[in-house]
Structure 1
Amino acid sequence: MTQTRKPGLMSGMLALLLAAVLWGGMFPVAKAALVTLDAYWLTLVRYGSGALLFVALLAAIEGRAVLRFESRTLALWAYGTAGFAGFSILAFLGLSRSQPEHGAIILALMPLLGVLVNAVWRGVRPTPGNIAAIALALSGVALVITKGHLAALTQGGEAMADLSILAGALCWVIYTIGAQDFPGWSPLRYTALSCLMAVPSIAGITLIATLVGVAHAPSLPMLAGLTGELIYLIMFAGVVAVLAWNMGIKRVGASGVLFINFVPVTALIIGWFQGHRLSIAELAGALIVMVALVLGNLGRRPTARMPQSTLCHCNASE
Structure 2
Amino acid sequence: MPTPFRSGPLAAYSLYLTGSALLAANPVVGRAAASLVPPVGLAFWRWLIAFLIVLPFALPGLLAHRHRLRADWKRYLLLGVLGQGISGAVVYYGLQRTSATNASLIYATSPAMILALAAVWLGDAIRSRQVLGILLAMTGVLAILARGDLEALLRLSFNGGDLLVLAGAVSWSVYTILLRQSGAPLPVVTAFAANALAGVLVLAPFYAWETVAVRSVPFTTATVLSIVGVALFASVLALLAYQKTIEMMGAARASTALYVSPLWAALASWQLLSEPLQGFHLVGVLLVLPGVTLATLPARGPVAPAAAEAG
Class of the TM-score when normalised by the shorter of the 2 chains? 0.7 to 0.9
Q: Deviations over 1:199-240 (max 9, x none)?
A: 1211122334455x4x322243x4x33122122101111111
Q: Distance between the aligned counterparts of 1:306 and 1:272, measured in 2?
A: 35
Contact 2:5–2:12 under 8 Å retained in 1: no
Q: Distance between the aligned counterparts of 1:306 and 1:184, measured in 2?
A: 16
Give 1:314's aligned residue: none
The 1:98–1:250 alpha-carbon spacing in structure 2 relative to 1, beyond 3 Å, is same
Q: Distance between the aligned counterparts of 1:237 and 1:45, measured in 2?
A: 13
Give 1:141's aligned residue: 141
1:22 counterpart = 2:22:
yes
1:207 counterpart = 2:208:
yes
1:247 counterpart = 2:247:
no
Give 1:94's aligned residue: 94
Matched to 1:247, the amino acid is K
Question: What runs of 5+ residues in structure 1 fail to find an aligned partner?
Answer: 312-318
Q: Deviations over 1:97-130 (max 9, x none)?
A: 0001011111211111110221232121322111
Give 2:129's aligned residue: 129
Q: Deviations over 1:39-67 (max 9, x none)?
A: 1111111112222223332126x574245
Give 2:116's aligned residue: 116
Give 2:176's aligned residue: 176
> How far does residue 268 in structure 1 lie from its aligned partner after superposition?
1.4
**Equivalent runs, 1:64-83 vs 2, <5 Å:** 64-68=63-67, 69=69, 71-83=71-83
Q: Distance between the aligned counterparts of 1:306 and 1:228, measured in 2?
A: 38
Matched to 1:273, the amino acid is Q
Q: Distance between the aligned counterparts of 2:184 and 2:8, measured in 1?
A: 25
What TM-score, normalized to structure 1? 0.85
Q: Distance between the aligned counterparts of 1:71 and 1:187, measured in 2?
A: 19
Give 1:236's aligned residue: 233
Q: Distance between the aligned counterparts of 1:187 and 1:260, measured in 2?
A: 19
1:296 counterpart = 2:295:
yes
Give 2:217's aligned residue: 218
Q: Distance between the aligned counterparts of 1:178 and 1:133, measured in 2?
A: 23
| Segment of structure 1 superposing worse, 27-36 or 199-208 | 199-208
> How far does residue 278 in structure 1 lie from its aligned partner after superposition?
2.1
Q: Deviations over 1:244-267 (max 9, x none)?
A: 112212332232211212211101
Question: What runs of 5+ residues in structure 2 fail to find an aligned partner?
Answer: none
Give the aligned length.
300
Q: Distance between the aligned counterparts of 1:13 and 1:178, measured in 2?
A: 30
What TM-score, normalized to structure 2? 0.87
Q: Deviations over 1:108-154 (max 9, x none)?
A: 11111110221232121322111111110111111122221133354
Q: Distance between the aligned counterparts of 1:111 and 1:24, measured in 2?
A: 16
The 1:122–1:108 alpha-carbon spacing in structure 2 relative to 1, beyond 3 Å, is same
Contact 1:51–1:192 under 8 Å retained in 2: yes
Give 1:316's aligned residue: none
Q: Distance between the aligned counterparts of 1:128 and 1:261, measured in 2?
A: 21
> How far does residue 25 in structure 1 lie from its aligned partner after superposition?
2.9
The 1:126–1:205 alpha-carbon spacing in structure 2 relative to 1, beyond 3 Å, is farther
Q: Distance between the aligned counterparts of 1:123 and 1:12, measured in 2?
A: 34
Q: Distance between the aligned counterparts of 1:199 and 1:25, measured in 2?
A: 20
